[in-house]
A and B are shown apart, each in its own frame.
Chain A
Amino acid sequence: MRKPFAITLDPGSSLANHTGSWRTLRPVYVDRLPPCNHACPAGENIQGWLFRAESGEYEAAWRALSEDNPLPAVMGRVCYHPCESACNRAQLDAAVGINSVERFLGDEALRRGWKFAPPAAASGKRVLVVGAGPSGLSAAYHLARMGHAVSIHEAGPVAGGMMRFGIPKYRLPRDVLEAEVRRIVDLGVELKLNAKVDHILKTMRAGAFDAAFLAVGAHIGKRTSIPAGASARILDAVSVLRSMEGEEKPLLGRRVVVYGGGNTAIDMARTAKRLGATDAIIVYRRTREKMPAHDFEVEEALQEGVMIKWLSTIKQAGEGALVVEKMRLDETGFPQPTGELETLEADSLVLALGQDVDLSLLENVPGLEVDGGVVKVGPNMMTGHAGIFAGGDMVPSERTVTVAVGHGKKAARHIDAWLRGTAYEKPPAHALAKFEKLNTWYYSDAPKTLLPVLDAVRRQSTFDEVQGGLDESSAQFEARRCLSCGNCFECDNCYGMCPDNAVIKRGPGQRFEFNYDYCKGCGVCAAECPCGAIEMVPEEI
């Protein structure tokens, strides 16, 4: 072999030098659980669908979203968005407006007529769903997509449950609700209206159902014993809100007092204002901090001229007036009477003190247990009677639309497994993506986009929707405020900043992998990963 003067070796590449053996720490790609996903009662993969929305793939985003929740346009209006309370971005500037992006996607889907993918192969099993509220609709949707034949029996004349008969129009326009219900029915779900189930076992037998999901909700307004004169006009909020859906609007008078401190009380007072009441007054026995209603709704109600009497109870109801007693909070935060009385003029008193469940369809069901007015269910949402599952407001839980939708999904998974003779195993959850894991240097400064709000005058007199939606560019802007906590969004930092070219870029959507032959374990990739999706683990030496 001829070589130049004084040369004895052939030229070689440093690739022969496997510097990976220097490593004491090994970088590993991980997916962590974003706090929004963790907080979502409906179990949405929020970071996942925002990722699609960021690049303008709205249909893909909507499909990812509706994998878990078939009612995005509804949810984008009525959800109390615990995701936003958990959002890591709140520690930078303000939480990502997840709810408004969800609404945009939901509305976009309706506008463009996107349909759900048809169900998988038919399983041959029949499932009865009792109640067409959020929980029942959610369960029906998931069960249908799993290939089961689903029939919803709804006692009322229209579907929607509390979304229809509890939530006022100014928060949820009915055409939006109807369109999202229709899309579920279009999957092949049978919807029977005015079909009250009197006895669950009989109905199951008659329809040859293999399993049932009960989701009748809680529709009976709680009463309290208030000494009242014969002429006092006392109503309950659930009935009044329900009658808003009929032809005959309820007659409440000019001065309306609402008793209670939950979201229903707020809805009731705002509805009264819109019906023409000059005064809509909420009487609540504790303070604003203790009020169960969500603060932004209290705020909106106050803007519309609703008045709230804190630390007050109603002692007596008479014609045209109420006797109210002042309260004070004791050391434990519980209200105690002070004996101080005052008179409050009122044409009607509406009670919003919570709701009970109509359990009449469950009489004589072996094994089924009721506790405190609600049905007991196991971790798999099944009641004590095999094959009968329950969810939504009729089981012990927080009573919101989002929780109900989550119940529907969870129950559907367990019903599906039960019908197949197996048990549903929840995949292990990733570790939480905490703020401390992020490298926030890399995120652009971007304040939250505010939603347009209807002006106060129109809010006091009409049932037009109060909150507007985002247009496309603001929705995309808002989606792009997402930090993608704990999940790689392909920013190329690891690939670009490795001093040893030991990160392999696999191409769009394919993420990256480490080349451990050359990775020296310096940890720059993990330190500079914006979203905390790389972990350094000790190497076994």
Chain B
Amino acid sequence: MKYDIRYKPAFATIFLTLQPGEQIFAEAGAMASMSGKVAMDTGFFGGLIPGLLKAFLGGESLFLNEFTNKTQSPQEIVLTQSSMGDIVQTQLNGGSLCLQPGAYIAHTKGIKVDLQWAGFASWFSGEGLFKLKLSGNGMIFFGAYGGLSEKNVTDSFVVDSGHLVAYEPGIKLNVGLSGSMMGSLTSGEGFVNKLEGSGKIYLQSRSMGGLVKFLKPKL
């Protein structure tokens, strides 16, 4: 499958070419435009029950769209995200990657999407009750609000809540305060993710929570 991520980093958008028989799965609403010959179907995200859980508790869409090229010639499709910011493609070769709510955009065949319980602590810190775990062999696309930074964590690392986009499953997430209770309240950092273990993580340079917090008193 050929792809090109254009208008990086502020307005990153995925331009995909589907070869005959090829398929891409994408988050509901991600399709901006496509050739009229691409077939589209709608299914549940990760099956009906996990899909329901995800919709009601995880705050994301219950549905996943499937785009297939059933013709004999290459067809184009353009996928994007709701927020402004960068998009990254990664190839999974038997490994897996966990995505925070809102980051997922699309994946190819061969990738399995699981919904996993992230815990109340995660929800409390604004990271959602569930996380998506993608594993298998194939490509995945995910996006951020702002720029995306990739980092290798080897022992432990602290990330402000709302800035973590994706992480490898070798990393365990704990929610904590950035300092003492009083210090956390006054420093403006509030809750943070305390990561332990080793693996790759992706950070976003802005947070939707930050934008919302900025806008709230201005309404």
Do A and B actually bind?
Answer: no
